[in-house]
Amino acid sequence: MSEPILRVKDVHKSFDETGVLHGVSLDIREGEVVVIVGPSGCGKSTLLRCINGLETIDRGEIFLRGEKISGRTKDLHLVRQKIGMVFQSYDLFPHMKVMDNLLLGPVRALGRPREEAEKEAMEMLARVGLREKADVYPRTLSGGQKQRVALVRAMMMHPEILLLDEITAALDPEMVSEVLNVVIDLARGGMTMAIVTHEMRFAEAVADEVLFLEDGVVVEQGPPEKFFHAPETERAQQFLKSFTYSFKKSEVQPKNNPED
Ligand SMILES: Nc1ncnc2c1ncn2[C@@H]1O[C@H](COP(=O)(O)OP(=O)(O)OP(=O)(O)O)[C@@H](O)[C@H]1O
Ligand SMILES: [Mg+2]
């Protein structure tokens, strides 16, 4: 088997003596999508933040294409350029138009020729249905449009791997699918990703592997067919049950009043 793009090995992390991650390990191979699920506070965001060096780790090691990236103090920005990340909040620069947001990384940080990067940005905007939005300011975009731009911005850096942390959590329900479909499109295009989400249907559709985290420990791990339909641990079964119910509720169409 080929060497994984990302290798997380026995990572421990605490904040002020409170343990948050207790020995998490995870391998992601080229083109693979790993979805990380688990109850609120179990350490999902912390794990992603440790991977791209936003948090230091207490124990363990993290490798990107075989190169150790944890515990580094030098050249952290070079590592981050290879690891794209999109968060729940829209973190576009408000004073810059969409295109300038997209060119900042590739042109300023990577030194790519502006014209070439601009052409690529236009193609990517078109792919996510935002061809007309290159010249507007982020404040004029909907939440779903902003998150699609944020995805394009991350992709413009040609990252080795993309980390997504609940990127639809702040969106109105009707905008969720337009963003998740872009992610599914990226997955089909072979992008390697680690995705934290509470959207279980999406998780099942996009994942090659599911990681169920609870209290900073990997409780269950496996292919989506197995995890979502025949989970082994009681904890995973309970966790999934709560989702099944909320899904059913949200799916109930409002009753049509025949008088209307
Ligand atoms: N900077 C920090 N300082 C202190 N504690 C922190 C910090 N960041 C996270 N924590 C704590 O670590 C634990 C895990 O937080 P984390 O944000 O990783 O959870 P999560 O699984 O992403 O939850 P959610 O689904 O609600 O986003 C929580 O108890 C949280 O309070
Ligand atoms: Mg989180």
Q: Which residue has the higher pLDDT, 77 or 147?
A: 147
DSSP string covering 15-38: ETTEEEEEEEEEEE-TT-EEEEE-
Q: Give me the chain's average pLDDT, please.
A: 92
Determine the atom of ligand 1 nearest the C-alpha atom of 39: 25
Cα separation, 28 vs 39, in Å, equals: 22
Output the residue whose Cα is nearest ligand 1's atom 3: 15
| DSSP assignment letter at 234 | H
Backbone φ, ψ for residue 210 (5° rounding): -115, 140
For the cut 80, the answer to whether the pLDDT of residue 84 exceeds it is yes
Q: Is the dihedral of CA 172, 177, 180, 185 positive or negative?
A: negative
- Of the bound ligands, which one is closest to the alpha carbon of residue 87? 2
pLDDT at 258 over 50: no
Span 133-149, mean pLDDT?
96
Q: Which helix (H) or strand (E) holds 152?
A: helix 143-155
Q: Does domain 6-250 have CATH number 3.30.530.20?
A: no
Residue range 115-140: average pLDDT?
97
So what's the pLDDT on residue 254? 55
Q: What's the pLDDT band for 253 if we cut at 50, 70, 90?
A: low
Mean pLDDT of 51-68: 95
User: Measured over all CA atoms, what is the biggest interatomic distance in the chain, rounded to whole angstroms?
Assistant: 70
Whether 26 has a pLDDT exceeding 80, the answer reads yes
Alpha-carbon distances, residue 67 vs 5, 71, 83, 155 (angstroms)? 10, 12, 13, 22
- Count of CB atoms situated within 10 Å of the CB of 94: 10
User: For residue 24, which ligand has an atom nearest its CA?
Assistant: 1
User: What is the rounded average pLDDT of the residues 75-80?
Assistant: 85
For ligand 1, the distance from its centroid to the CA atom of residue 222, given in whole angstroms, is 24
Angle at 145 between CA 143 and CA 149, to 5 degrees: 115
Q: Which amino acid is at 178?
A: E
- The pLDDT score that the predictor gives to residue 2 is 72
User: Cβ(29)–Cβ(2) under 8 Å?
Assistant: yes
| Helix (H), strand (E) at residue 240 | helix 234-251
Give the range among 13-22, 91-100, 171-180 with minimum mean pLDDT: 171-180
If you average pLDDT over residues 199-227, what whole number do you get? Answer: 96
% of the chain surpassing 90 pLDDT? 83
Instruction: Using the predicted structure, report yes or no on whether residue 121 has a pLDDT greater than 90.
Output: yes
Joined tokens for residue 97: 């138009």
| Shortest-distance Cα residue to atom 24 of ligand 1 | 40
- Helix, strand or coil, per DSSP, at residue 81: helix
| Amino acid 89: pLDDT | 86
Ligand nearest to the CA of 50: 1
Average pLDDT of 245-254? 51
Q: Kindly tell me if the per-residue pLDDT of 247 is higher than 70.
A: no
Mutation probe of ligand 1 site: the residue of 44, 163, 164 with most atoms within 8 A of C-beta: 44
Binding pocket residue ranges, ligand 1, CB within 6 Å: 15, 20, 38, 40-46
Question: What gap in Å lies between CA 136 and CA 87, rounded to an integer?
Answer: 21
Q: For 156-206, how does the pLDDT look when each residue is reduced to its tens digit (9 = 90+)?
A: 999 999 999 999 999 988 899 999 999 999 999 999 999 999 999 999 999
Distance separating alpha carbons of residues 240 and 229, to the nearest angstrom? 9
Residue 257 confidence (pLDDT): 47
- Average confidence (pLDDT) over 228-247: 84
* Per-residue pLDDT at 259: 44
Enter the tokens of residue 149.
């731009």
The secondary structure of 82-137, three-state, reads HEEEECCCCCCCCCCCHHHHHHHHHHHHCCCCHHHHHHHHHHHHHHCCCHHHCCCC
Could you tell me the distance, in angstroms and rounded to a whole number, from the CA of residue 66 to the centre of ligand 1?
Answer: 28
Domain ranges of the chain: 6-250
Whose CA is closest to atom 9 on ligand 1? Answer: 46
Rounded-to-integer distance, Cα 55 and Cα 70, Å = 10
pLDDT of residue 242: 83
Provide the pLDDT for residue 80: 86
- Residue 239 Cα to ligand 2 midpoint, Å, equals 16
| pTM of the predicted model as reported, rounded to 2 decimal places | 0.92
Which candidate, 115, 82, 87, places its Cα nearest to that of 99? 115
Distance CA 150, CA 147 (A): 5
